[in-house]
C-alpha cells in the first residue's frame, strides 16, 4: 500500500529552522517510526521528482549538507520484522552539475613512511606557480581554495590550494587533457567534482536500517562466520544465517603482503571471544546482550601470557608476526600511532592464534608454542602447521621467541589474560557469550554532537596532505553504525563512486547524516568497495567494486 505525503519545501523548512531545531529528531522519528509491522510505504513528491531528503532534511541542523536542494522528497520504508525497519532513499540536489576535471598533484614525500607520494592540496605559492607554468604551456588552469572539514583534532579554516584544468562531461574526455598536462611535465589525475565537499552531491542513494531493541525479538551480532582467516560477502553470510539485515563490518586484511586475508586489522570480538587486538584506541561498535545494549566507544585491548612469576605482553591475535596493518601498537615502525591502510613492522613480536584461525599458521624464523584447551604446552618448536582443535598457538619473533623458549615447558601450563577497555575511562568491558565488537574509524558522533577525532584515530595527518585526502575528505561509499537516544541501532550504507549515479559521503557528511537521524553516537565502518547491505539475504545496495560484491572480513547481522 502506498500513501502520498505532501511535505513543505526545504526552503520553507529552513526559514523556520530555529523554531524546529529542538523538535528535529521527533519530526524525523515520524517517518521512521510510524509504520506498522505490515507496512511498506512509498512517499513521492507532488512535483514528480524522485528526490528524497525526508529522513535527512526534516531533521538536519541548519547549514547541513542535506538542506541544499529544493522541492519535495521521496522515500520507501518497509518493516522487515517487528522492531526492524529499512528505509531506502535517493537525495537529489537540483541545479548541481558536477563534471570531470584534471587535478595537478605535487610530488612529495610521505611524512609517515618516507616514501614518495603525491599531494593535490598544497601551499598557495605552489598552486600559483604551477598554474603559471601551465599557462606558459598553453594550458589554462584555475586555483581553488580547500578548507578543512570540521574535525575535532585538526586545524580549522584553510587547508591549502589545488590546481585544476578544464571541465569535461566524461572521464574519457578529461583523459585527453590529462595526457597534455602530463606531457607538460606535471603529475596529475582526473577527478569527478561531485566527490568534492565544496559543492553538494547531485545524487546520493542511501539505505537506513533501524533496529528497536525493545520490540525486536531477535538478536544482533558481529560475526566472522567461524573462521577469522576467510573472506565472504555480506549477502552470502546473511543468506546462510537467515539474517533480516546485514552490513559489512570493520577493517580487514585484503593483501597477502599485509598478512592473512580476511583477518581484522583492528579489534574483533565474536561471541565474547577476543579474535583480534586493537590498533591503538580506535572506535568500535559494541553489541551486548544480543543487541539489547549497543554503544560506540574508543576501545583499547591488551593480552598477556604468564609462566609462573614471569609474563610477556602479547602484541597481536590472529595475525602474521612482524606485520601490523594500521599500526597503533607498542614497538611498531615507522609509527606506534594508528595510521589507516599502512602496514607497520615489528622486529620483536608475540602473537596468539585461536581455534577460529582455520588456516595454515605463518612460518619463518622464531619460536612456536602449541597449547591445549587448558593452556598446557603440547610442543615447542618451529613455526607452522595449524591450530589444534580447541587449543591455541603462540608465535614469537625477536626477543619474544627467546622468552617462549625459556618459559614454555612441555607439560606445564601458560596462562593468557585478555582485556578490552574504554580508552577514555579505563573501565574494563565485561564481554560474554553473545557479545561482539567491530572496530573501524573514526568515531563520528558523541553525546549527540559531531565529534570526529580523525587525526587521533589515524585517518588523516595534518602534517601530510598527501595522506588519505581522498579517503577521508572526498565522497566515498560508506557504511555507518549509530545509536539514538532510545537505544535503537541505526545501520546505514550510502553508495558511491558513481554507482547508479550516487557519489557517497565524506566523513563529515556521514556525521551530519547520522546526527540528522537522531544518532547520539556514530562510527564509520569499513567503506569503499566493502560497503554492502543485505535485507532478507539479498543485496540491496549498489556496490562499487568492478567485480561485484566484495568478500569482507566480519559483518554485523540482525538475526530473527
Count how many domains the chain has: 3
Residue recorded with cell 587449543: 391
Low-confidence ranges of the chain (pLDDT < 50): 1-72
Question: Residue 226: inside a domain, yes or no?
Answer: no
Question: Residue 400: inside a domain, yes or no?
Answer: yes
Nearest to 120 by CA among 144, 151, 156, 153: 144
Confidence at residue 74, expressed as pLDDT on a 0 to 100 scale = 65
Residue after which a domain boundary falls, among 404, 436, 468: 436
Answer yes or no: do 331 and 400 share one domain: yes
Answer yes or no: do 369 and 483 share one domain: no
Residue after which a domain boundary falls, among 378, 413, 436: 436
Answer yes or no: do 471 and 403 share one domain: no
Question: Residue 336: inside a domain, yes or no?
Answer: yes
Classify each residue of 382-406 as buried b or exposed e, where b means 16 or more C-beta atoms within 10 Å of its C-beta. ebeeebeeebbbbbbbbebbebbee
Residue after which a domain boundary falls, among 388, 403, 436: 436
Confidence at residue 341, expressed as pLDDT on a 0 to 100 scale = 96
- Are residues 107 and 185 in contact, defined by beta-carbon separation less than 8 angstroms? no
Confidence at residue 94, expressed as pLDDT on a 0 to 100 scale = 83
Answer yes or no: do 180 and 275 share one domain: no
Question: Residue 126: inside a domain, yes or no?
Answer: yes
Answer yes or no: do 18 and 90 share one domain: yes
Question: Residue 223: inside a domain, yes or no?
Answer: no
Answer yes or no: do 178 and 162 share one domain: yes
pLDDT in tens, 273-295: 999 999 999 999 999 999 999 99
Answer yes or no: do 352 and 264 share one domain: yes
Answer yes or no: do 316 and 431 share one domain: yes
- Integer Cα distance of 401 and 348 in angstroms: 8
* pTM (predicted TM-score): 0.88
Question: Residue 288: inside a domain, yes or no?
Answer: yes
Question: Residue 225: inside a domain, yes or no?
Answer: no
Answer yes or no: do 390 and 461 share one domain: no
Answer yes or no: do 427 and 280 share one domain: yes
Answer yes or no: do 392 and 326 share one domain: yes
Task: Please give the residue range of the domain that contains residue 450.
Answer: 10-96+200-216+440-559
pLDDT in tens, 17-42: 222 222 222 222 223 333 222 233 33
Q: What are the φ and ψ backbone dihedral angles of 67, each rounded to 5 degrees?
A: -130, 50
Confidence at residue 168, expressed as pLDDT on a 0 to 100 scale = 97
- Integer Cα distance of 413 and 20 in angstroms: 64
Question: Residue 230: inside a domain, yes or no?
Answer: no
Answer yes or no: do 315 and 382 share one domain: yes
Amino acid at each position: 500500500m502506498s500513501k502520498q505525503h505532501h511535505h513543505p519545501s526545504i526552503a520553507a523548512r529552513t526559514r523556520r529552522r530555529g523554531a524546529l531545531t529542538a523538535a528535529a529528531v521527533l519530526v524525523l522519528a515520524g517517518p521512521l517510526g510510524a509504520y506498522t509491522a505490515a507496512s511498506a510505504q512509498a512517499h513521492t513528491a507532488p512535483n514528480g521528482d524522485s528526490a528524497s531528503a525526508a529522513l535527512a532534511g526534516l531533521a538536519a541542523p541548519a547549514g547541513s549538507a542535506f538542506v541544499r536542494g529544493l522541492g519535495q522528497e521521496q522515500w520507501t520504508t518497509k518493516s522487515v520484522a517487528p522492531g526492524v525497519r529499512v528505509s531506502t532513499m535517493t537525495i537529489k540536489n537540483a541545479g548541481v552539475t558536477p563534471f570531470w576535471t584534471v587535478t595537478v598533484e605535487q610530488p612529495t614525500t610521505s611524512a609517515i613512511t618516507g616514501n614518495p607520494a603525491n599531494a593535490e592540496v598544497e601551499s598557495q605559492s605552489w598552486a600559483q606557480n604551477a598554474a603559471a607554468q601551465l599557462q606558459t604551456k598553453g594550458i589554462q588552469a584555475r586555483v581553488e581554495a580547500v578548507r578543512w572539514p570540521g574535525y575535532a583534532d585538526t586545524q580549522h579554516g584553510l587547508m591549502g590550494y589545488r590546481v585544476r584544468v578544464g571541465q569535461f562531461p566524461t572521464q574519457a574526455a578529461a583523459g585527453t587533457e590529462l595526457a597534455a598536462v602530463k606531457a607538460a611535465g606535471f603529475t596529475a589525475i582526473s577527478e569527478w567534482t561531485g566527490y568534492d565537499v565544496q559543492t553538494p552531491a547531485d545524487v546520493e542513494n542511501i539505505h537506513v536500517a533501524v533496529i528497536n531493541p525493545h520490540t525486536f525479538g531477535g538478536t544482533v551480532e558481529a560475526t566472522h562466520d567461524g573462521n577469522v582467516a576467510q573472506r565472504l560477502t555480506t549477502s552470502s553470510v546473511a543468506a546462510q544465517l537467515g539474517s533480516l539485515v546485514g552490513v559489512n563490518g570493520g577493517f580487514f586484511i585484503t593483501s597477502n603482503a599485509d598478512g592473512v586475508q580476511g583477518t581484522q586489522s583492528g579489534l574483533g570480538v565474536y561471541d565474547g571471544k577476543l579474535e583480534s587486538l586493537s590498533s591503538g584506541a580506535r572506535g568500535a561498535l559494541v553489541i551486548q546482550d544480543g543487541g539489547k545494549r549497543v554503544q560506540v566507544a574508543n576501545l583499547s585491548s591488551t593480552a598477556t601470557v604468564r609462566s609462573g612469576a614471569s609474563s610477556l605482553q602479547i602484541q597481536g591475535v590472529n595475525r602474521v608476526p612482524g606485520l601490523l596493518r594500521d599500526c597503533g601498537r607498542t614497538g611498531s615502525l615507522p609509527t606506534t600511532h594508528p595510521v589507516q591502510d599502512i602496514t607497520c613492522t615489528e622486529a620483536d613480536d608475540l602473537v596468539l592464534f585461536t581455534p577460529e584461525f582455520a588456516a595454515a599458521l605463518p612460518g619463518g624464523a622464531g619460536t612456536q608454542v602449541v597449547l591445549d584447551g587448558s593452556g598446557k604446552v603440547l610442543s615447542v618448536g618451529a613455526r607452522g602447521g595449524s591450530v589444534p582443535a580447541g587449543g591455541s598457538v603462540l608465535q614469537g619473533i625477536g626477543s619474544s621467541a627467546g622468552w617462549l623458549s625459556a618459559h614454555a615447558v612441555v607439560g606445564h601450563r601458560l596462562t593468557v589474560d585478555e582485556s578490552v577497555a574504554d580508552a577514555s575511562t579505563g573501565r574494563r568491558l565485561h564481554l560474554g557469550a553473545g557479545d561482539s565488537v567491530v572496530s573501524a574509524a573514526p568515531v563520528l558522533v558523541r553525546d549527540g554532537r559531531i565529534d570526529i577525532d580523525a587525526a587521533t584515530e589515524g585517518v588523516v595527518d595534518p602534517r601530510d596532505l598527501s595522506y588519505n585526502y581522498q579517503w577521508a575528505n572526498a565522497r566515498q561509499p560508506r557504511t555507518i553504525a549509530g545509536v539514538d537516544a532510545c537505544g535503537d541501532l541505526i545501520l546505514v550504507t550510502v553508495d558511491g563512486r558513481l554507482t547508479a549515479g550516487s557519489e557517497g559521503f565524506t566523513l563529515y557528511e556521514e556525521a551530519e547524516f547520522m546526527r540528522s537521524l537522531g544518532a547520539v553516537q556514530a562510527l564509520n565502518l569499513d567503506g569503499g568497495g566493502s560497503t554492502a547491505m543485505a535485507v532478507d539475504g539479498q543485496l540491496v545496495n549498489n556496490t562499487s567494486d568492478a567485480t561485484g560484491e566484495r568478500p569482507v572480513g566480519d559483518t554485523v547481522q540482525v538475526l530473527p
